[in-house]
Chains A and B, each alone.
Chain A
């Protein structure tokens, strides 16, 4: 687990939130990272060694920014609390979830073959897990 100290953010609460997510998704959780949407700075990250979480964060961040801008441009609404993507084949799908909270984003990937949907997956930034 990489921990960076950032002024104004309660890292301990984010760590607790990450632990809750790990507990809920168990063995199905592949990787998760809380990062700044503007600077990409990782606040709390979990994942297997060798996985470039920063690159995945940047990719998901681009998608989120595009969706937000497209929604605003269309006057339909704005990006809300999260975006969920199914990735890969239907036989072995990976669920990518990116939650938003102010300047922070929380991306995580998990497989439905080894876990089930949990409320912490769609709303990780809640209660004690708020930055």
Chain B
């Protein structure tokens, strides 16, 4: 894994989402943080548990495709969690839905972050 590339990915993520980004953590398989912005360990742990459930449920169903690279959850407090998953690693972010553009998130920020995350984790 290339940690400096993860740092760069986090910087770009912050730049794309601006003031809407509340917290962001890239964590390894052991649940420990690698790169963070306003770290939120509780959110990381919670969404780690949710990721496991979603993955198992889709696999167990057998008739729907497995979990892909990300999922998002809109919450009643107006925040949106974005969880990107690559192998053992996950990137958990919480954004303020009222301060971000869904167009920028879905069409610019997310595809860029997924690509960089994948590349950083593949490198030695």
Kindly state the separation between the CA atoms of A55 and B116 in the bound complex, as whole angstroms: 36
Contacts of A74 in B (CB 8 A): 42, 46
Residues A70 and B46 in contact in the complex (CB < 8 Å), given A56-B63, A86-B71, A87-B58: yes
Residues A71 and B46 in contact in the complex (CB < 8 Å), given A77-B77, A77-B79, A79-B73: yes
Number of interface residues of B (CB under 8 A): 32
Residues A77 and B50 in contact in the complex (CB < 8 Å), given A59-B58, A86-B67: no
Residues A52 and B63 in contact in the complex (CB < 8 Å), given A66-B53, A70-B46, A74-B42: yes
Contacts of A80 in B (CB 8 A): 73-78
Contacts of A32 in B (CB 8 A): none
Residues A90 and B69 in contact in the complex (CB < 8 Å), given A76-B42, A78-B76, A85-B54: yes
Residues A87 and B64 in contact in the complex (CB < 8 Å), given A63-B54, A77-B77, A78-B75: yes
CB-defined interface of A47-68 with B at 8 Å, one 1/0 digit per residue?
A: 0000010011001001100110
Q: Which residues between 58 and 115 of chain A lie within 8 Å of chain B, taking CB atoms?
A: 59, 62-63, 66-67, 70-71, 74, 76-90, 93-94, 96
By beta carbon, the residue of chain A nearest B84 is: A86
Chain B positions within 8 Å of A, measured between CB atoms, are 42-43, 46, 49-50, 53-54, 57-58, 61, 63-79, 102-103, 106-107, 114
